[in-house]
Chain A
Amino acid sequence: MTKIDILQGTLDMLILRILNQGTMHGWGIADRIESISESVLKVGEGSLYPALYRMQQKGWIKSEWSVSENNRKAKFYSLTASGRKQLREKEKSWNRMTGAVAAIMQNS
């Protein structure tokens, strides 16, 4: 398994996408990214929490202490309206970029 460095903006987009499907706590988000990508993408704490705090400062997500599924205390994050807007925009630019890369790879 290789660890691929994910660009900061891309990580933000992934986090927003996952939160779009529902509230989640920090390690839950990391788990989810790892499991959906079949362990291709692993997010360390050094990347995850700064990203979460940054997005919280920008007002894209908000947090709340609550109790998790196994009766543990955890900080839950959820999307805000502006976060949803950000997600859509990031998705658009991501698609544009990957489309461009694919076009070059196929045609040159």
Chain B
Amino acid sequence: MRFFRRFLALFQRRRFESEMEEEMRLHREHRIEQAIENGMSREEAGRTANRKMGSLDQAKESARDEHGFLWFDYLKQDISYAWRGLRKSPGFALVVIFTLTAGIGCNTACFSLLNSLLLRPLAYPNADRIVFLAESPPGEISYDSNGASFARWQENDDLFEQLGGYHLRGTTLTGRDHPRPVYLTETTAGLFEIFSARLTQGRSFRRAEHQPGQGHVAVISHEFWQQQLGGDLDILGAQLVFDGVGHDVIGVLEPRAFPYDNAIFVPSDVLHNEAKRAPGSDYDMSTFALLNPDVERGPAQTRLQSMRGAYPDSYLPEQRNWRDTIQSWRDASYGTYKPAFMMTALVVAAILLIACVNITNLALARNRARSGEIALRLALGASTGRIVRQLLTETMLLAIFGGLLGAIAGVALFQGFIRWTNMNTLRFVETSLDYRVMLFAAGATLLAGLVCGLLPALRCARPGINTHLKEGQQGVATGKRRRLQSGLVIAECACTVALLIIAVLLLRSLQNVAASDPGFTREGVLYFSLSPPAERTPDADSSARFTDQVVTQLHRIPGVVAAGATSAVPMSKVEYRTEAVRRITQDPDAGGLTVGIDSVAPGFFDTLQISLLRGRTLTAADNQSAAPRAVLVNSRLAELLFENEPALGSPIVWRGEQWEIVGIVSDTARYYLGHDPIPQLFVAQARLPLPMSYVLRAQVDPMSLIKSVRAAVEETHPGLALTNLRRLSDRADGSMGLRRIFLSTFGLFAGVGLALAAMGVFGLMTYTAAQRMREMGIRIALGATTRDIMNLILGDSLRLIGLGLLAGTVLAAAGSRLLQSQLYAINNLDPASYLLAIATLAATGTFASLLPAWKAARANPVSVLRSE
């Protein structure tokens, strides 16, 4: 209550002052009148009154103190004194402000990222209850579910308030100006409700429309309506034609109603369609749910898992040891990157630490220079607390400037990062300015200011004035103070070398990845997708024939050396299938090996130049739906499943049937460069009809053949649109994108750390050399050469840096263990990388010490000794 009153009192200052004046004046007049009554003359009365009043000013001061104004007065004094002092040393001020801007800027940017991704609520209502369901192979978490699992998860009303999913199907939109490739999102009931998606026009799907054959309606996204349909005001009731069937547009969603950029939604009949609900069905889905308010993920997952056991008919026998998993929406979206984020957070914290160390050292040096003045003030009666407060005010003032600039820089850095990584396409992540970021920046600034200011201030304001006054301005640096500063610089060098080591490891890892052999040819290869209309490919054989026709046409293009087709081009972003297979000798209940399944048409392996190691590839004869069951496997699968026994010719069980392995191909990196090969199974298209992508290899730059490719497709199948036309080498490069981002960010931070450390070493060496001027003067007078002095100082500096390097190397060795999963083909203790980083810091540190050492060596002994 007292503080509150005191605070309020500030605002009543003026009134208080005038009232106090008035009161004291009246008191004085009263005294004078009293004296006159007692017989004195007016002047004498006045003099007596003055005497009796005592010191008026001191009375006023005491009164002010009681009223609580003094602390505010002191603060104003401190600030103006600090301001004057800083203006006299602009170099010091600028260095500190810049250092803090760098430190706080990096931290604010990093915190903004973590805040948007992990702390802030996602941009959809009830986002914390939205979860992602999947069936995962043992040992990993996947994102797949299918019609069978979706059906199995129904009837869980006590767990899920809503349950919904979607299946993506590529097709061609006709009936408008020109045929256009689109993806249809087949949506079950409940999906829109999970995201609280609302419509601006029309309605959503009715129950009846989810029956087979009844779903010839569509809901479109706002963005699709505006961009692709011209914002047609009469859109409700308009017809969109897919697969030759007209769908009525019955509704338009609000902008960003759905968290992903799906454009066209049609009702899914999965729950009423036997084929889609069969175990191992190809009806892939992404399934979401809204948990009931008091349900936890863990128990819900356990319940689903036990239900899985109760319905063995809803999955293939080989998938018996798979699990049903429930992940929070956040985790499913970017959970795998959490370790990387945490690592980055640690890194930027280390940078701020380095920055604070630098500033503390600078402040210590500066205060040392003023120790004479401070000692005098202490002798004249200033309290230690007052001096500390005043020194601290100076640091806090600098901290506030630096923090403000740093916050602005950090926010700008974060926004730039968003644009650079296209993170703003993640609709459900909020990247706008948040109060938490401001709070963090303020807190970090305050902390930095206190940490940097308190130590030097306390150090300086010690009593013991005699020593101060006697030592004068220049003396021998006291042992304790030097040890502290040296310790700080060692810490700085340690942090920096740790950062550098990790940066070099990441860089070399990236280089290794870029140079790695993915097992297939990238140069000169083009790929694209093409979806045949459903009416032209009613069964597997017709699909195979369709593909064949296209591939034959592609072969005819001049310049094309080879062409083929596959369901998933390596490193493209097409959906990958994962299923389980086992040997015939293995117990079906024991579960199988998780493998990637690809459907191929003849010519694929040739085009990508994937070598055939044993046996034969799949030919046109295998590409018939009635052909004998033959598959190809890659050597990884052969290793894992057959170990030392020959795989060729052996039977393998897939989807409950026996297949013969007719050939073994070499491993390929399937998802991205640097990825460990996974076991893969290849089947002829006629046995596993999936949407195909076409590949061709040419002697010329494949992009120059685009026109010919389109013409070739148009000739065989007019009216179909090509999609995802790309160069494979571009995709392969792009697959390293995330690594590059990580490395660049890290590299930036390591660079900042290095610059700060160099400044720190420079600062300390300059200060130490200045402190030891007297000693240097004596040495020179006694015959030391320039080289001797420089060696002396450099030797000291190297000793410090060396200790720092040692500590930092140990730190890095421990920390890089966490990073091992990100490192490709390089050990986290790789000596060459460590040496490179150590050499960089050693060189920088030595370079930074050269100037101070040289200046010390050039000191004129006579003038130095005389100034004492």
Are A73 and B66 in contact, CB atoms less than 8 angstroms apart? no
Known: A57-B67, A75-B19. A45 touches B53 (CB 8 A): yes
Known: A50-B65, A54-B66. A26 touches B59 (CB 8 A): no
Q: What is the interface of chain B mostly: helix, strand, loop, or mixed? A: helix
Q: Answer yes or no: A94 CB below 8 A from chain B CBs.
A: no
Contact check: which of A26, A44, A50 meets B53 at CB < 8 Å? A44
Kindly identify which residue among B30, B31, B55, B68 contacts A46, using a CB–CB cutoff of 8 Å: B55
Q: Are B23 and A49 in contact (CB under 8 A)?
A: yes
Q: Which of A27, A50, A57, A58 contacts B30 (CB 8 A)?
A: A27
Residues 58-83 of chain A: 1 if any B CB is under 8 Å from the residue's CB, otherwise 0? Answer: 10000001000000111100000000
Instruction: Return chain A residues, CB-CB under 8 Å to B2.
Output: 57-58
- State the CA gap A49–B56 with chains docked (Å): 11
Interface pair A50/B62, CB less than 8 Å apart: yes
Q: Return B70 CB to nearest CB of chain A, in Å.
A: 12
Bound form: Cα–Cα A46–B27 in Å? 12
Cβ contacts under 8 Å, B62 to chain A: 46, 49-50
Residue pair B26, A73 in contact (C-beta under 8 Å): yes
Which of A45, A53, A58, A73 is within 8 Å of B56, CB to CB?
A45
What does the 1/0 interface line of A4-32 toward B look like (CB < 8 Å)? 00000000000000000000001100110
Judge whether B63 and A75 touch: CB under 8 Å. no
B480 in the interface (beta carbon within 8 A): no
B122 in contact (CB, < 8 A): no
Tell me if B26 and A45 are in contact (CB < 8 A).
no
Q: Does residue B24 face the partner (Cβ distance < 8 Å to A)?
A: yes
Q: Does B20 have its Cβ within 8 Å of any Cβ on chain A? A: yes
Contact status of A49 and B68, CB under 8 A, knowing A44-B52, A73-B26:
no
With both chains docked as a complex, state the minimum distance between the C-beta of A76 and any C-beta of chain B, in angstroms.
Answer: 11
**Considering the complex, which residues of chain B in the window 1-59 have a beta carbon less than 8 Å from any beta carbon of chain A?**
2, 5-6, 19-20, 22-24, 26-27, 29-31, 34, 52-56, 58-59
Please determine whether B26 and A50 come into contact, CB atoms closer than 8 angstroms.
no
Say whether A26 contacts B58, CB under 8 Å: no
Cα A54 to Cα B497 in complex, Å, equals: 59
Is A46 a contact of B5 with CB atoms below 8 Å?
no
Contact residues in B for A45 (Cβ distance below 8 Å): 24, 27, 53-54, 56, 59
Q: What per-residue 1/0 map shows which CB atoms of A65-108 lie under 8 Å from chain B? A: 10000001111000000000000000000000000000000000
Cα-based distance from A58 to B5 in the complex (angstroms): 9
A10 to chain B, nearest CB (A): 17
* Min CB–CB distance A107 → chain B (angstroms): 40
User: Which among A57, A73, A75 is the interface contact of B5 at CB below 8 angstroms?
Assistant: A57
- The main secondary structure of chain A at its interface with chain B is helix
Contact of A44 among B19, B54, B65 (CB under 8 A): B54
B33 to chain A, nearest CB (A): 9
A5 to chain B, nearest CB (A): 13
Contact of A72 among B26, B54, B59 (CB under 8 A): B26
Across the interface, which residues of B come within 8 angstroms of A30, CB to CB?
Answer: 27
* Nearest-neighbor residue (CB-CB) of B59 within chain A: A46
* Contact status A57-B26, CB under 8 Å: no
CA distance in complex: A50, B29 (Å): 19
Is B26 in contact with A27, judged by CB distance below 8 angstroms?
A: yes
List B contacts of A53 (CB < 8 A): 63, 66-67
Nearest chain B CB to A56 CB, angstrom units = 9
Contact between chains at A75 and B23 (CB < 8 Å)? yes
A32 to chain B, nearest CB (A): 13
Query: Do A49 and B26 have beta carbons less than 8 Å apart?
Result: no
**In chain A, what residue has the closest Cβ to B1?**
A59
When distances are taken between beta carbons in the complex, the residues of chain B under 8 Å from A72 are 26, 29
Q: Which residues of A contact B6 (CB under 8 A)?
A: 57
A and B contact pairs by CB, cutoff 8 A, 26 listed: A26-B23, A27-B27, A27-B30, A31-B34, A44-B53, A45-B56, A45-B59, A46-B54, A46-B55, A46-B59, A49-B20, A49-B23, A49-B24, A49-B59, A50-B62, A53-B63, A53-B67, A57-B5, A57-B6, A57-B68, A72-B29, A73-B22, A73-B26, A74-B23, A74-B26, A75-B22
Q: B residues engaging A (CB < 8 A)?
A: 2, 5-6, 19-20, 22-24, 26-27, 29-31, 34, 52-56, 58-59, 62-63, 65-68
State the 9 A-B residue pairs at the shortest beta-carbon distance, nearest first: A46-B59, A50-B62, A44-B54, A27-B27, A54-B66, A53-B66, A27-B30, A46-B54, A45-B59
